[in-house]
């Protein structure tokens, strides 16, 4: 049931060479529409569950830009559809493979994100490396999954990647709130700047995902199209990643985890694993059903899936 979601050797080689991989199928039309419907409700600044957001910015773009970027962390705590997305086998299996975690340990949620660019006024997301924001952990065993909720193109603000930049050293954050697209050039050498100039536009269809290495330089330009450009992002960490500094909570509203503590707890659940000699499995249901119970709501929406393939776990303590 999970085998069909595995990446081919050619895909894994492409990821190793470029630091990203695109056009991975993930969502069926019914799943996509459920996420879009929940997103409409989540975008309301007066949503009754807003206290569960780790961050919510109805517009994180600079005021002087005249553009809009809705950016939020924590949708999985509020929406059943975004919760279930974390445990989707079509998302987890390629991620576990690309992270080299097959036959070893599983993956945990670091945090999720929403990025929404409205029609004709969608803002840029400046060039950056995700790892620049995650320096409090060791080892640096992360991967990002970008889930397209709309078709993405150069016109509406698709992701762009710098191929091979996952071999670059860690760069500083040069645009904290994403607004200065070209600010990264201030820390690049001539060769890196040339690679940036040769960046690749990733044109995803709605329901497809791309995955990228934590050091891969990526960004997205504004939305000039007549429709929205919406995406969910799932940031994953290898089980066993440890907090290496004492700088306060990992996420706003989260309990402080002392230096030396493995990433874990109900805000960083174990999502799945691919143990030796067995098929990949989603984590079993957790005990905390504070927001949503365990559900297999997506299992019967893909006719090719075994009914158990969509089984997901409720947010809660470690599995």
pLDDT digits (tens, 9 = 90+) for 69-88: 999 999 999 999 999 999 99
- CATH number of the domain that residue 203 is part of: 2.60.120.620
| 307 assigned to some structural domain | no
Quick one: DSSP state of residue 247?
A: -
Span 290-299, mean pLDDT? Answer: 36
Per 3-state DSSP, what percentage of the chain is helix, strand, and coil (rounded to 5)? Answer: 25, 25, 55
| 270 assigned to some structural domain | yes
| 308 assigned to some structural domain | no
| 192 assigned to some structural domain | yes
| 313 assigned to some structural domain | no
Q: Which domain range does residue 178 map to?
A: 3-278
Q: Would you state the pLDDT for residue 276? A: 55
| 284 assigned to some structural domain | no
Encode pLDDT of 90-132 as tens digits: 999 999 999 998 766 799 999 999 999 999 999 999 999 999 9
Number of structural domains, the chain?
Answer: 1
Q: Would you state the pLDDT for residue 101? A: 87
| 286 assigned to some structural domain | no
Candidates 73, 85, 109; CA nearest to 36 is: 85
| 61 assigned to some structural domain | yes
């Amino acid at each position: 049931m999970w085998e069909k979601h595995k990446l081919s050797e050619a895909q894994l080689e492409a990821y190793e060479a470029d630091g990203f991989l695109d056009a991975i199928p993930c969502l069926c039309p019914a799943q996509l529409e459920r996420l879009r419907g929940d997103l409409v409700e989540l975008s309301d600044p007066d949503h009754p569950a807003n206290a569960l957001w780790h961050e919510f910015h109805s517009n994180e773009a600079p005021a002087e830009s005249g553009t809009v970027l809705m950016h939020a962390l924590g949708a999985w705590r509020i929406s059943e559809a975004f919760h279930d997305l974390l445990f989707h086998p079509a998302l987890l299996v390629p991620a576990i493979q690309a992270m080299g975690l097959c036959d070893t340990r599983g993956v945990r949620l670091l945090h999720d994100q929403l990025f929404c660019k409205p029609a004709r006024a969608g803002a840029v997301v400046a060039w950056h490396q995700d790892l620049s924001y995650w320096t409090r952990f060791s080892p640096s065993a992360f991967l990002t999954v970008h889930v397209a909720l709309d078709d993405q193109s150069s016109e509406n603000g698709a992701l762009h990647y710098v191929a091979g930049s996952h071999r670059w050293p860690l760069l500083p954050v040069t645009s904290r709130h994403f607004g200065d697209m070209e600010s990264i050039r201030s820390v690049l050498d001539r060769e890196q700047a040339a690679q940036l100039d040769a960046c690749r536009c990733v044109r995803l269809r709605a329901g497809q995902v791309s995955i990228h290495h934590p050091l891969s330089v990526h960004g997205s330009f504004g939305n000039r199209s007549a429709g929205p450009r919406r995406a969910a992002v799932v940031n994953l960490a290898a089980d066993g990643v440890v907090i290496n500094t004492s700088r306060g909570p990992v996420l706003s509203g989260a309990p402080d985890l002392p230096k030396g503590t493995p990433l874990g707890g109900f805000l960083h659940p174990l999502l799945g694993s691919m143990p030796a000699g067995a098929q990949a499995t989603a984590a079993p249901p957790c005990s905390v059903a504070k927001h949503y119970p365990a559900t297999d709501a997506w299992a019967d929406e893909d006719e090719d899936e075994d009914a158990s393939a969509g089984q997901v776990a409720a947010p809660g303590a470690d599995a």
